[in-house]
Amino acid sequence: MIETRYLSKVYNDLVALDKLSLTIDRGDIYGFIGPNGAGKTTTIKILATLLRPTSGQAFVCGYSVNGEAKQIRRKIGYVPDEFGIYEDMTVLEYLEFFAALYELGLAERKRVIRDVLELTDLSYKENAQVDSLSRGMRQRLALARVLLHDPEVLLLDEPASGLDPRARIEIRELLKELRNMGKTILISSHILSELRELCNKVGIIEKGKLLFSGPIEEILEQVRAHDVIQVQVREAPEQARQLLIDHDLVKRAEVLSEDGWLEVQIDDAAEDHSFVPALLVEHRFRLLRVREQEIDLEDAFMKVTKGVVG
């Protein structure tokens, strides 16, 4: 559905995108994450045919952004981080205006508007002034607008930015519903915990370069390459730590809490971490529990990126 090949965008001396190559398949929910200024919005604007790349290629639904913008725009729905509102228009008038731009017939227009208002839970606000809506409701209205022509691909740039917790939950549930409808969605966001729940794939970008692209589980496994486990001993955690740190296959050992939890980082040369509990038991430490360190998307992001911007 979406493919970029060595996609670059340069502004004078600033390289906003540096030979970006990624693939998003039909039905994917792709989380696009990176520091501010990493190139996320630039990428989305190129895919939405609002910016022309300096070099490279990008395809959406088989159409090239270089020369086939009209075909792409029929296939996509684009929601920017900030979008303008129309004063003195109600929600219903706003959607009718855009439905007319999409050249929907009058009967179809009424049906589609009713459907998107119901989907976005805005039916009770159809007569409200657009400029009176909260930011969360405006975001839902923006999604309702881009759904009028039933696009195959949604490009969402920080759709939960600036929303309060309740509004974020409502947007998240709406995106889940769109996922269940089979939409292919590219979503940039700083709320990584919600991307973990929504997305099946992620791309991590920094300073215009794509550092990782693929299934979430794959990057979590990569981050676990330096195996870290946690063990709990009944007593003497400091002595247990000293025993472990003296072992050739232990890179780091720290006492986490007074109730006996230790965190142990295993050297890459170790086949597995089974020697850790065996060593503790051998030296008569009473072992209560052993668990692998839980890795989430935020951990992966922090370990893959360096915190630099373009």
From the number of C-beta atoms within 10 Å of its C-beta (0-12, 13-18, 19+), residue 166 rates as exposed
Confidence of residue 309 (pLDDT cuts 50, 70, 90): very low
Write a three-state SS string for 172-240.
HHHHHHHHHCCCEEEEECCCHHHHHHHCCEEEEEECCEEEEEEEHHHHHHHHCCCCEEEEEECCCHHHH
pLDDT of 264 higher than 50: yes
What Cα–Cα distance (Å) separates residue 140 from each residue in 71, 78, 116, 147, 187? 25, 13, 10, 11, 15
* Six token digits for residue 23: 């693939």
The percentage of residues in the chain with a pLDDT greater than 70, rounded to a whole number, is: 96
- Give the list of residues 6+ apart from residue 245 with CB closer than 8 angstroms, or none: 252, 253
Q: For the domain 226-294, what is the CATH code?
A: 3.30.70.920
Question: Which of 104-107's residues contact partners 24+ apart within 8 Å by CB, and which partners?
Answer: 104/148, 104/149
Task: Supply the pLDDT for residue 225.
Answer: 54
3-class state of residue 129 by DSSP: strand
Instruction: Please give the CATH topology (third level) of the domain spanning 2-222.
Output: Rossmann fold (3.40.50)
Asked if the domains 2-222 and 226-294 are classified in one and the same CATH topology, the answer is no
- CA nearest to 303, candidates 177, 194, 192, 198: 192
For the chain, what are the domain ranges?
Answer: 2-222, 226-294
Backbone CA torsion sign across 273, 274, 275, 281: positive
Mean pLDDT, residues 85-96: 89
From the number of C-beta atoms within 10 Å of its C-beta (0-12, 13-18, 19+), residue 32 rates as buried
Name beta bridge partners: 265. 228, 252
Taking only the tens place, the pLDDT of each residue in 148-201 is 999 999 999 988 877 888 888 888 889 889 989 999 999 998 778 778 888 999
